Amino acid sequence: MSEGPQVKLRTQWLARHLQGRRADRILTERQDLSATAEQLAGQTVARCYCKGKHIFIEIGPDWVLHNHLLMRGKWRMAKGPFLFIPTQYWLVIESGSSAICNINGQVLEFITHQQAEDITKRLGPDILADPYPREEVIAKLKVQRKPISEAILDQAVIAGIGNVAKSEALFLAEIDPRVPANTVTNDALVRLSDAMRQVMQESLEQGGRWIHRVYQRHREPCHTCSTRIAVIRMPPSKRSTYFCPKCQRKH
Neighbours of 233 (CB within 10 A): 10
CB of 106 to Zn ion, least distance (A): 36
Binding flag, residue 170, Zn ion (CB under 5 A): no
Q: Are the beta carbons of 73 and 102 closer than 8 angstroms?
A: yes
Binds Zn ion by CB under 5 A, chosen from 81, 225, 236, 238: 225
Using CB under 5 A as the binding criterion, the count of chain residues that bind Zn ion stands at: 7
Binding flag, residue 224, Zn ion (CB under 5 A): yes
Binding flag, residue 127, Zn ion (CB under 5 A): no
Binding flag, residue 195, Zn ion (CB under 5 A): no
Binding flag, residue 244, Zn ion (CB under 5 A): yes
- Residue of 59, 47, 54, 33 whose CA lies nearest to 119: 54
CB of 51 to Zn ion, least distance (A): 34
Binding flag, residue 65, Zn ion (CB under 5 A): no
Binding flag, residue 247, Zn ion (CB under 5 A): yes
Which span sits near Zn ion by CB under 5 A: 30-38, 138-146, 201-209, 221-229?
A: 221-229
- Residue of 167, 169, 177, 176 whose CA lies nearest to 194: 169
Write the CB contacts of 121 (distance below 8 Å, at least 6 apart in sequence): none
CA distances from 57 to 10, 17, 160, 210, 220 (A): 12, 12, 18, 27, 43
CB of 72 to Zn ion, least distance (A): 34
Binding flag, residue 246, Zn ion (CB under 5 A): yes
CB of 172 to Zn ion, least distance (A): 12
Considering the complex, state which of residue 49 and residue 243 has its C-beta at the smaller distance from Zn ion. 243
CB of 139 to Zn ion, least distance (A): 30
Which span sits near Zn ion by CB under 5 A: 27-35, 77-85, 179-187, 240-248?
A: 240-248
Which span sits near Zn ion by CB under 5 A: 8-16, 38-46, 155-163, 242-250?
A: 242-250
CB of 230 to Zn ion, least distance (A): 10
Considering the complex, state which of residue 128 and residue 175 has its C-beta at the smaller distance from Zn ion. 175
CA distances from 74 to 70, 104, 165, 212 (A): 9, 7, 20, 23
Binds Zn ion by CB under 5 A, chosen from 193, 222, 242, 243: 222
Angstrom distance (rounded) from CA 47 to CA 39: 18
Angstrom distance (rounded) from CA 67 to CA 90: 11
Q: Which residues bind Zn ion (CB under 5 A)?
A: 222, 224-225, 227, 244, 246-247
